[in-house]
Amino acid sequence: MNFVELEVPGVWLIEPKVFGDNRGWFFESYRHDEFAAHGLSDMFVQDNMSSSAHHVVRGLHYQLEPKAQDKLVRVTRGEVFDVAVDIRKGSPTFGKWAGRILSAENKLAMFVPAGCAHGFCVLSDTAEFHYRCTGYYAPSHERGIHWDDPAIGVEWPVEAATAILSDKDKRNPPLAQAEINYEWKAKE
């Protein structure tokens, strides 16, 4: 696997080594030793799947401490633009974002640490999205930030007029008004 840390510290793009022949392909989607070598959490306790239509935007979501989650995300069908936003108070990249296209074809994954809000926009007709989480879903700790907050400035590949959001995501506040309890912890 090839691990590349993105513009936001702790957000990693993970490219597997794909082995293919006339039968199809094979790759390792997770290896404890390689994740540990990069200091990444590996105690996944819950897996989630979602299916979404073209132009659906999900996010930007996170859970407050002490129910925060690291996420390892991958697309198993279709294509999405995946985004992580740093919401760790005191971080040198607070309010900054990192985004990449994840698809079934490119087989890339993204590791999104606790302290980052996460979201994605579907670029294909439909997309299936797989989340591995280090914490359980805790509705009382679930929070969100408005997907198109100009203070963050995510360069979404969809216009606001055509984006499809849940009612809950439409009501998410901007970053400046969001409830956040993460503190930046620099690596030693």
Residue 41 to residue 70: CA distance in whole angstroms: 7
Q: Which two tokens stand for residue 132?
A: 């591995």
In order of their start, the domains of the chain are 2-18+41-177 (2.60.120.10)
* Given the residues 30, 32, 54, 61, the one annotated as active site: 61
Beta-bridge partner residues of 145: none
Q: Is residue 38 annotated as a catalytic residue, yes or no? A: no
* Regions of the chain short of the pLDDT cut 50: 188
Percent of the chain whose pLDDT exceeds 70: 98
Question: Which of 122, 126, 105 lies closest to 58 in space, CA to CA?
Answer: 122
Measured from the Cβ of residue 8, the count of other Cβ atoms closer than 10 Å reads 25
- The answer to whether 5 and 113 have CB atoms below 8 angstroms apart is no
- CA-CA distances (angstroms) from residue 39 to 9, 34, 42, 113, 118? 12, 9, 9, 11, 20
pLDDT tens for residues 45-87? 999 999 999 999 999 999 999 999 999 999 999 999 999 999 9
- The residue annotated as part of the active site, out of 62, 118, 131, 141, is 131
130 is catalytic: no
Q: What is the pLDDT of residue 179?
A: 97
